Amino acid sequence: MIAKVSLPSNYGDNTLVLMMQTPKTLYAYWELSQNQRSALAEKKKLVLRLNSANRGVYRTYTIEPYWDSFYFTGVDPGMEYYCDISVEDGDNELYPIIYSNPISSPSVNTYSEPAETAGSNFWGKGTPVARESKWKGYSSGIFYN
């Protein structure tokens, strides 16, 4: 019999990762150790900042110590970004505690929206079906309501 193994809910690391979802939407997730979260809960304010490389702070958001992810929508394509989590202390100054990896968002002219017809070589191409709404679903090349 194989022993049942489960993944831990966290690894006790302090890490911040920035990813691109689309050229105009970025996603950040982080893990903070329990000791780090406890220390941050005592601070005046916790801030997530999206920074544009070589241009400085792009956007600033107040976050809660128990949050672990955030979407940045409406960002400018074709730029390099990174983010940080900072604390605002009693002197109203921001002190970064962790930085993310840098990412480059492609220019809009290199990005195109997915075609209306979905499918793959494995299942075959779906056939568009005329209907009132623009929503189309495809599975095995056949349209399903």
> Following DSSP, what letter does each residue of 16-30 receive, concatenated?
EEEEEEETTEEEEEE
Q: Hey, where are the domains in the chain? A: 15-110, 114-145
Assessment of whether the complete model's pTM goes beyond 0.75: no
Pairwise CA distance, residues 64 & 61, whole Å: 10
Number of neighbouring beta carbons within 10 Å of residue 130: 4
**Rounded to a whole number, what is the largest CA-CA distance in the chain?**
62
Q: What are phi and psi of 136, to 5 degrees?
A: -135, 135
pLDDT of 102 higher than 80: yes
Tell me the average pLDDT of the chain: 77
* CATH code for the structural domain at 15-110: 2.60.40.10
The pLDDT tens digits for 122-142 are: 444 444 444 444 333 333 333
DSSP string, 40-107: HHTSSEEEEEEEETTTEEEEEEEE-TT--EEEEESPPSS-EEEEEEEEE-TTS-EEEEEE---EEPPP
pLDDT of 116 higher than 60: no
